[in-house]
Structure 1
Amino acid sequence: MIRVAVVDDEALIRTGFTHILGAAEGIDVVAAVSGGQAVQTVRELGPDVVLLDIRMPDVDGLTVLAELRRLNPAPVVAMLTTFDTDEYVASALRSGAAGFLLKDTDPRQLPYLIRTLAEGGTVLSSDVTRKVVDGYLNQSPDDAADHAVTRLTERERAVLVLLAEGLANPAIGTRLHLSVGTVKEHVGAILAKLRVTNRVQAALVAERSGLLKPPRDGEDG
């Protein structure tokens, strides 16, 4: 059973997400609260996944995210927003958010997205993904992170490519004929070598370094 907490300043959003996810098999919404109650609620109930509004009137969503990431164990956190152009996207991902969802995401997709997050996958709404990637690619290069890709083992590179494609650990394991435990170990090593804090950042490093691009004509594959 995947335990989920919904944090949003709007009661209608909390009710809607609770209704949709509560009806899905294997998902239990253990709390639906406003931002001011978030940290204490998560500390007491220990949900696996938190859906967190990025903009709330009573408390800044990024501040809540930082506090949640300091908990032990820390839950997986995906940010919620109404806007696909939210300027806080990059900050949230750098702070350890595992995903970014629009509040009008197709309700039929929500249970799948929650399961993906719980399994260690990365979730970005399609309207957000290109903006995030383009924004990252346009930043000044982080030579240390990009160079670190060259220090990954062949197996770690294979895991990183599938991670960057959005696959969760079980799917990566199936594709590479590895156990989920072994995949987790490889992901941990990848994050450490790239000096990033989450899978989204690792995926963006992989894209900027050219790891996801097919070889040009005349190049060895």
Structure 2
Amino acid sequence: MNPATLESQSSQACVAIIDDDSSVRNSLAMLLETKQWHSVEFERAHDFLSNAKLTDFNCLVVDVRIPEMNGLELFDELLRRSKQQHQYLPPVIFLSGHGDIPLVVRVLKQGAVDFLEKPADHRSLLDAISRALQTDARERENFQSQAAILKEIAELTQRERMVLTEVVAGYLGKQIADHLNISPKTVEAHRLHICQKLNVRTSMELAAKLRDIPPSLWQSF
């Protein structure tokens, strides 16, 4: 993706602000306006989970210490839903007035893109959000590409998906035939149908196309 595209997408960005302190939310919203970034404010994690559509946002700014369901619990729930429903999760930035090293390490290992201690200065906030928006532009495009491939795989028969799993694992036709208790000719017929449906010519192209997609995603169909 070229820099001009990134800049265009950043100017249209929408950021979710999840913080129980209205003064913090308002201050951050006004700061975002200086960059022409839109924002939507949420006081509680449950408000966000009940009313927000993740794909509407390019970045989430979450306070760790929001009451009831805290920011870390919200992040855990978003990660769970993302994996279970194969749903895109925008980059998450955490804010906390009580940050410590173990907490930082945990959220970053889980996939958060940044962690800032309150009160964060305006430059640090804007820089962090700018980096998150650049990450979103790349990751969203990758996710959409992966979703399109999974849609193609969903059109395969169950037997074809079984053969597909064996092919991308690197097994040869005779091995696949033995594993699935079918003839090598049947394996080859399935392989040809798979390649046609996924718009590739060879097993090598097929493996390359599915390089970043774990078989567990289509085995759950």
Could you tell me the TM-score, scaled by structure 1's length?
0.49
TM-score normalized by the length of structure 2:
0.49
